[in-house]
Amino acid sequence: SQQGEEDPQALSIQEGENATMNCSYKTSINNLQWYRQNSGRGLVHLILIRSNEREKHSGRLRVTLDTSKKSSSLLITASRAADTASYFCATSGSARQLTFGSGTQLTVLP
Amino acid sequence: GAGVSQSPRYKVAKRGQDVALRCDPISGHVSLFWYQQALGQGPEFLTYFQNEAQLDKSGLPSDRFFAERPEGSVSTLKIQRTQQEDSAVYLCASSLAIVKDNEQFFGPGTRLTVL
């Protein structure tokens, strides 16, 4: 079963705007990861944040983690048309496998 | 080097047929995972190997699903007597070792359609 929910389910923005996606999860975690999936393709790892971290940056990506609320957010700044994809959060806990959220479909309009 | 590869990329099966899906992980990666992704959903865990040992198969939906990795490299996911509800994308992922920061590298998936 899915670990939790992501919102929004779909997001449409103009190129250059920022995109924010949120993820909630249910159980304790070691880390939380964000992946991108282009249509018909596999998942690409974007960024990982450990349970003892609160914020992390990588290029145009900013991830926050609030373990007290069991939630995370992914911010993509200065979006580009090439950012159009589905974005998934995934948690890693005591088990080795990842538990994914339901995803956010981001569309960036040129 | 090469990433995770999967074959076939697309498979159409008639209900009741058996199918075999192949995964070639990144060379040297100890861990291998199979996930099932239904349309519009996130991937869901099926099974996990460490080298040739299948350490967790709790996600396999029925005894029609069987996975193996006999030499600790290539893995095959077999589905017997396919049903329409088996239609999904099957993703394989590998990771270097059992580490706390479990970054997995995914293949492109096999899209299975059962008619």
Are the Cβ atoms of B55 and A96 closer than 8 angstroms?
yes
Q: Tell me the CA distances in angstroms from B47 to A18, A74, B95, one per residue in order.
A: 37, 28, 14
Q: Which residue has the higher pLDDT, B100 or B106?
A: B106
Q: Is B69 helix (H, G, I), strand (E, B) or coil?
A: coil
pLDDT for A73-94, tens place per residue?
Answer: 999 999 999 999 999 999 988 7
> Is the predicted pLDDT of residue B12 greater than 60, yes or no?
yes
Residues B32, B23 contacting (CB under 8 angstroms): yes
Whole-number pLDDT of residue B96? 87
> Is the predicted pLDDT of residue B52 greater than 90, yes or no?
yes
Nearest-Cα distance to chain B for A4, in Å, is: 10
Q: Which of A41, A88, A96 sits opposite B102 (nearest CB)?
A: A96
**Best of A50, A97, A104, A105 to disrupt the B interface by mutation (most B CBs within 10 Å)?**
A97
Total residue length of chain B: 115
B110-114 and B10-13 as β-strands: parallel, antiparallel, unpaired?
parallel
CB pairs under 8 A between A and B: 70
Confidence of residue B26 (pLDDT cuts 50, 70, 90): very high
> Is the predicted pLDDT of residue A98 greater than 70, yes or no?
yes
Whether omega before B70 lies within 30 degrees of 0, making that bond cis, reads no
Residues B105, B85 contacting (CB under 8 angstroms): no
SS3 content of chain B, % helix, strand, coil (to 5): 5, 50, 50
Are the Cβ atoms of A100 and B100 closer than 8 angstroms?
no
> Is the predicted pLDDT of residue B1 greater than 60, yes or no?
no
Residue with tokens 């293949």, as numbered in its chain:
B107
> Is the predicted pLDDT of residue B76 greater than 90, yes or no?
yes
Residues 10-69 in B contacting A (C-alpha not used; CB under 8 Å)? 31, 33, 35, 40-45, 48, 50, 55-56, 59
Q: Tell me the CA distances in angstroms from B25 to A36, A41, A61, B49, one per residue in order.
A: 19, 16, 28, 11
Are the Cβ atoms of A50 and B98 closer than 8 angstroms?
no
* DSSP, res B64: T
Confidence of residue B98 (pLDDT cuts 50, 70, 90): low
Q: Label each residue of chain A as H, E or C.
A: CCCCCEECCEEEEECCCCEEEEEECCCCCCEEEEEEECCCCCEEEEEEEECCCCEEEECCEEEEEECCCCEEEEEECCCCHHHCEEEEEEEECCCCCEEECCCEEEEEEC
Which residues fall within 8 angstroms of residue B45, CB to CB, at 6 or more apart? A97, A98, A99, B33, B34, B35, B58, B59
